Each structure stands twice: as C-alpha cells, then as structure tokens.
C-alpha cells in the first residue's frame, strides 16, 4: 500500500507526503482527482472546517467529495488505507453507512471500526469488518445485534488491540471463546454482557496483554474472577454494579501489583473482601489512581491517600 499505509499506528503522515507518494503517481486516483476538479463551493466550505482562512487539505477535499457523491462508489479497496479510513469515519459520523455501503470497504485494511450504538449492525456486517484482517486494531460494536456467529468472524484478526461489545445481549458464553484467541488485546469492554459468567470468564485467562478490562453491570461474574489471576499487566478493572460478586471473589485480585484503578461501586463487598486488596492497593503511586468504593458495604474501611486502608474514626 506504500509508505502512507505501512506506517505505524499513531504516526503522523504529512499531507504533502500523501500527495507526492500516492495521489499524483497512482493511476487508481484519476477518478478521484477528476472528481475533485469539479468540487463545488459547498464541498470546499464543508471541508475547510471551523478554522478561519484555512485551506482544505487534499484529503479533506477527497473525503468531502466522496461523501457528497457516495452513490457513485462501490469499492474503496484501491485507495491507501489512510484515505479509506477517513472516508469510513466520515460516513459513520454522518450516519451514511448501511449494509450495502459497508461492502465498499471490504479488504480496505482499515485499522479502526467504531460503530458504537450505530443502528442496524448485525452479523452480516461482521464479514466486511473481519475482511480487514491483520490490519484491524480496534472494533467497537456496542449496542449491536451481533451474535456468536458474527463475533466468531473476528478470530483471524489477531492483531486487534481493543474490542468493545458493551450491551451486546446476543453474545453468549460460547461466543466469548473467540475473544480468548485475540491474545494481543490490551483493552476489552463488555459492559452488561450476558456472556460474562463464571464459565464465560474463562476466555479472559489467555488475554495476558490486557491493560484495561471493563465488566460493569455483569452480575453473573461471581466465581469467574479466578480466571483473571494471570493478567499481570492489568491496570484498570471496572466492576461497578457487579452485585453478584462476594468477598470470596476478591482474593483473586490480591496479587495484582500493576492495578492502578479498581471500580467496585455498588457492589456488596464487606471489610473482609477489602482486606484481600491491601497488597494491590498499597503499590499504587500517589495521584495515579485508586480504589473507587462508594456505595459498597465497606463498614470501617476507607481509602486514604491512594496508599492503603485505615480504620475510620
């Protein structure tokens, strides 16, 4: 895909580099350049953005024009990834994406697919999402109708670093087995996901690179925290409103020396459960995080200075 597409994640690509390497030399861009020559003043205005007097970049012009004439295009796979990614993001932002249009992004090597609360997302969409293959780094399909079958299509996207399936109530324990194979995940969010049970939590055991894990409103996790014991890189763990967990679950968190933030708000944990956390919480540097415990049944223990627990007066 060239220099613009082989860049590392987060690396800045200057607009003049994009032009010289891709747009002026690639024959596949003649259709875009020809279209841009007829750009209307309205497209130019939209591409300029809020900055007064700023000229629109070539990429902004491309994205704006494609959005205006989206019905003309059916395949973006010949574009460099940077451009197809921005076109995709813009179409999602404007709520233009549907199942048919999504097909135009098949095999585009997109890195980020964010469809959080986007209407209509289902298993049929996942085939195109999974076609991004090893390029795919993050996926958010929260509040979708994706099932185990759709989630299973991501099994070969092994470079994924972030996955969010919040409020996906059609995913079961069986579907979470797919997640267990995504060993490069550093962030996993499964808020109010019915699949997160003691059995389903077995999928977390192999995710040794996890840094952030969000299990908010997953009350059936009781008995499943034992599968987190090997996640030594875990820094943030959110279990707010997991009212099924008990004091006995806390002992599996006692050796998490990397833990910087632990959310246990609105959980039924007593002094006994908190006592298991002394070793973990005492390693937290000041002002870097802490234990959020409001609304829990902590009784005589309170958080002081992010360094441990002392008796309340």
Per-residue model confidence (pLDDT) at position 271: 82
Nearest alpha-carbon partner for 216 in 237, 191, 235: 191
Per-residue model confidence (pLDDT) at position 99: 95
Q: Is 193 part of a structural domain of the chain?
A: no
pLDDT in tens, 104-135: 999 999 999 999 999 999 999 999 999 999 99
Predicted TM-score of the model (pTM) = 0.77
Low-confidence ranges of the chain (pLDDT < 50): 1-8, 10-48, 282-288, 297-313
Q: Across all residues in the chain, what is the average pLDDT?
A: 79
Per-residue model confidence (pLDDT) at position 292: 62
Query: Helix 41-48 to helix 58-68 angle, to the nearest 10 degrees?
Result: 120
For residue 71, with 0-12 CB atoms within 10 Å meaning exposed, 13-18 middle and 19 or more buried, which class applies? exposed
CB neighbourhood size of 170 (10 A) = 19
Q: Are 196 and 174 in contact (CB under 8 A)?
A: no
Phi-psi region of 117 (alpha: psi -120 to 50; beta: other; left: phi over 0): left
Residues 6+ apart with CB under 8 A from 42: 68
How wide is the angle at C-alpha 168 spanned by C-alphas 167 and 172, nearest 5°?
125
d(CA 276, CA 282): 11
Query: Helix 58-68 to helix 81-93 angle, to the nearest 10 degrees?
Result: 50
Q: Is 82 part of a structural domain of the chain?
A: yes
d(CA 184, CA 295): 34
Q: Is 2 part of a structural domain of the chain?
A: no
Q: Is 227 part of a structural domain of the chain?
A: no
Q: Is 79 part of a structural domain of the chain?
A: yes
Q: Is 106 part of a structural domain of the chain?
A: yes
Nearest alpha-carbon partner for 128 in 119, 115, 116, 117: 115
- Which tokens hold the place of 176? 């979470």
Per-residue model confidence (pLDDT) at position 274: 82
Per-residue model confidence (pLDDT) at position 277: 80
Q: Is 101 part of a structural domain of the chain?
A: yes
Per-residue model confidence (pLDDT) at position 312: 36
Q: Is 129 part of a structural domain of the chain?
A: no
Number of domains in the chain: 1
Per-residue model confidence (pLDDT) at position 87: 95
* SS3 at position 163: strand
d(CA 199, CA 203): 8
Can you give the residue range of the structural domain that contains 82? 58-110
């Amino acid at each position: 895909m060239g220099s613009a597409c082989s860049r590392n994640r987060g690396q800045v690509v200057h607009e003049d580099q994009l032009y010289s390497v891709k747009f002026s030399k690639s024959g596949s861009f003649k259709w875009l350049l020809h279209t841009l020559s007829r750009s209307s003043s309205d497209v130019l205005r939209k591409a300029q953005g809020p900055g007064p007097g700023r000229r629109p970049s070539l990429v902004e012009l491309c994205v704006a024009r494609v959005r205006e004439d989206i019905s003309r295009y059916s395949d973006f796979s010949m574009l460099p990834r940077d451009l197809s990614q921005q076109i995709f993001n813009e179409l999602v932002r404007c709520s233009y994406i549907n199942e048919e249009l999504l097909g135009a992004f098949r095999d585009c090597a997109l890195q980020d697919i964010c469809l959080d609360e986007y209407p209509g997302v289902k298993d049929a969409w996942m085939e195109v999402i999974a076609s991004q293959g090893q390029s795919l780094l993050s996926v958010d399909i929260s509040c979708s109708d994706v099932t185990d079958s759709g989630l299973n299509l991501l099994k070969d996207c092994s470079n994924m670093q972030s996955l969010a399936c919040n409020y996906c109530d059609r995913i079961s324990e069986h579907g979470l087995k797919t997640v267990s194979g995504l060993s490069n995940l550093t962030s996993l969010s499964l808020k109010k996901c019915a699949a997160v049970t003691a059995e389903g939590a077995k999928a977390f055991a192999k995710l040794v690179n996890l840094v952030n894990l969000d299990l908010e409103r997953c009350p059936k996790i009781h008995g499943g925290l034992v599968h987190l014991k090997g996640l030594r890189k875990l820094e943030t763990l959110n279990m707010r409103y997991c009212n099924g967990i008990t004091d006995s679950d806390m002992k599996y968190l006692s050796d998490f020396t990397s833990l910087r933030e632990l959310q246990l708000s609105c959980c039924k944990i007593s002094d006994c459960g908190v006592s298991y956390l002394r070793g973990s919480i005492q390693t937290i540097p000041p002002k870097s995080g802490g234990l959020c415990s409001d609304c829990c049944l902590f009784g005589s223990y309170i958080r002081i200075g992010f360094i441990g627990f002392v008796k309340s007066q």
